[in-house]
Amino acid sequence: MKWIDVLNYKELSEEAAKIIKERINNSPNLTIGLATGSTPIGLYEELIKAYKHGELSFSGVTSYNLDEYIGIDINSPQSYYQFMFQNLFNHVDIQKEKVHIPNGNTTDLQVECAQYEKLIKNSGGIDIQVLGIGNNGHIAFNEPGTSFDAKTHVVKLDDSTIAANARFFNNKDEVPVQAITMGIGTIMKSKEILLLISGKGKQEAIEKLKSGVVTEDFPASILHKHPNVTVIITNN
Ligand code: F6R
């Protein structure tokens, strides 16, 4: 696991964008795994800037998002679908048919999970996966206690995750209680992983990750077993 310490959020975003830009420019048909949440927003802004300056193109890129709430309309501003289009896809030349976000509004969620997993596999797997981390160590929506072998599946969100995500809703009761998420097994199959950690509220997660103890009680700890992980971190 390679750690890159940076001074602030701007540097974190620039450093992450530099890596993604290089990977896309080296492999224009790259398959990228993307995250939502506050942390990657600066990265997406940097990628949009680079695209507008003619420094990269997403035209050959295929994307898979980590997760989506269940039972939230995709047109709702809080859906991860809207998040991705507003913060990245609407501003770059990615082809809509190459964008994949789990569908949390389908009647058969099990079929959706199985199909999502199969689509990733048939794309040849994820070349580089961008991750954030929850205060409780979750990666994607894999909450503490999730099996390290899990594939894409339906989860019940932890109370702490619901409380953390309530900032995007009018109140806590509006936060969906379930989501579809790539599993830890799915994430671990990515060829490369870029974990972004920003914010004072992540101190406990940072300490646990740095301790190197690998346990299902702290999902992100599995990343110690992956051969190609870069962590970009700022305490500010
Ligand atoms: C988002 C996701 C989550 C977030 C995590 C951190 O797609 O999978 O695991 O990465 O909750 O969120 P922020 O960045 O808002 O602190």
Q: What pLDDT, in 10s, does the model give residues 17-26?
A: 999 999 999 9
pLDDT at residue 77 in the model? 94
Q: Which atom of ligand 1 is nearest to the CA of 161?
A: 11
The half-sphere exposure of 212 on its side-chain side, counting CA atoms within 13 A, is 3
pLDDT tens column, 11-70: 999 999 999 999 999 999 999 999 999 999 999 999 999 999 999 999 999 999 999 999
Of the residues 15, 117, 143, 158, only one is catalytic, namely: 143
The pLDDT of 71-83, averaged and rounded, is 95
Band (235; pLDDT cuts 50, 70, 90)? confident
153 close to 113: Cβ distance less than 8 angstroms: yes
Report CA(36)–ligand 1 centroid distance (Å).
6
Q: What is the mean pLDDT of the chain?
A: 96
Tokens of 43: 């990265």
For residue 35 and ligand 1, the question of a CB distance below 6 A is answered with yes
The yes-or-no answer on residue 91 being catalytic is no
For residue 179 and ligand 1, the question of a CB distance below 6 A is answered with no
Of the residues 100, 117, 127, 136, only one is catalytic, namely: 136
For residue 231 and ligand 1, the question of a CB distance below 6 A is answered with no
pTM score above 0.95: yes
Tokens of 158: 């932890």
pLDDT at residue 149 in the model? 97
For residue 66 and ligand 1, the question of a CB distance below 6 A is answered with yes
Torsion on CA atoms 116, 147, 197, 214, rounded to nearest 10: -150
Measuring from atom 4 of ligand 1, which residue has the nearest CA?
A: 132
The yes-or-no answer on residue 22 being catalytic is no
Ligand 1 pocket: which of 141, 152, 180, 198 to mutate (most atoms within 8 A of CB): 141
What's the sign of the alpha-carbon dihedral 226, 232, 235, 236? Answer: negative
Q: Is 142 helix (H, G, I), strand (E, B) or coil?
A: strand
pLDDT at residue 134 in the model? 94
